[in-house]
Amino acid sequence: MSQRPVTSFASLSLPAATLENLSRLGYTEMTAIQAASLPPALAGKDLIAQAKTGSGKTAAFALSLLARLDARRFAVQALVLCPTRELADQVTTEIRRLARAEDNVKVVTLSGGVPLRGQATSLEYGAHVAVGTPGRILDHLERGNLALDALNTLVLDEADRMLDMGFVDDIAKVARQCPAQRQTLLFSATYPEGIAKLAAQFLRDPVTVKVEAQH
Ligand code: ADP
Ligand code: MG
């Protein structure tokens, strides 16, 4: 007899409103990478998660960072680094979909190739989550538009692609401006040598989860 793994979101300690939201979105079961990464992520562990594209990695980190978010506090509490503007837009959309409506979570997208001014204005109005490309985020940090002292979660999404695109120095500079006391979540489709180095530098005692093939 084979034992079915637990794949229900209800097995996680998520607020009832989040569970209702998930079922409304048609997320009836966790994908394999969500089932593997959400328990340690929600427990506050640093995480290296590897699974192929389309496996639902965004919700894995989005649900975790949203669970830790204090919506009454108008400060950036989570930062997600992405390789491209398109991916940053997708991540922003997914975080907004997964956030509880009553929390009114403000997610700001900070990508290169878009005028700085509008992004700076969004930051001035107050944002809970910032998502963007490393160079542009660094730019906002250097201009004093973005403060990270209230940050509790740093996500490196599609870390392998960010390395391929030569963002390693920018990632390092951003990570150094984050509070040492934080959770760092690294998501990647592949696990080349460079990712191990990056993880060793910026993650603390990480849990590694890897999902092969299906999902
Ligand atoms: P990845 O980052 O691993 O490439 P995404 O996070 O972009 O994958 O997810 C791929 C698609 O799967 C998205 O359209 C997302 O809405 C959907 N998805 C994610 N998790 C679930 C789930 N538990 N049930 C149903 N659909 C899901
Ligand atoms: Mg992804």
CATH number reported for the structural domain that contains residue 57 in this entry: 3.40.50.300
Residue closest to 89 by CA, chosen among 53, 58, 125: 58
- Taking 50 as the pLDDT cut, the residues of the chain under it are 215
User: What whole-number distance in Å separates Cα of residue 20 and Cα of residue 36?
Assistant: 21
In a domain, 24, yes or no: no
| Interval 36-65: pLDDT, tens | 999 999 999 999 999 999 999 999 999 999
- How many structural domains comprise the chain? 1
Residue 11 forms part of a structural domain: no
User: CA 11 to CA 162: how far, in whole Å?
Assistant: 33
pLDDT value of position 2 = 54
Mutate to test the pocket of ligand 1, among 19, 21, 55, 131 (most ligand atoms within 8 A of CB): 55
- Domain of residue 88, residue span: 33-210
At residue 212, the pLDDT reads 85
pLDDT for the residue numbered 100: 87
Residue 24, ligand 1, Cβ within 6 A: no
Q: Which ligand is nearest to the CA of 60?
A: 1
- State the pLDDT at residue 5: 67
17: in domain: no
Answer whether residue 25 is part of any domain: no
Q: Is residue 23 part of a domain?
A: no
* pLDDT at residue 215 in the model: 44
Q: Is residue 6 part of a domain?
A: no
Enter the pTM of the model: 0.96
**ipTM for the whole predicted complex goes beyond 0.95:** yes
Q: Residue 19 falls within a domain, yes or no?
A: no
Domain assignment present for 193: yes
> 172 CA to middle of ligand 1, Å?
28
- Sheet of 47-50: strand order equals 107-110, 129-132, 78-81, 153-156, 183-188, 47-50, 207-210
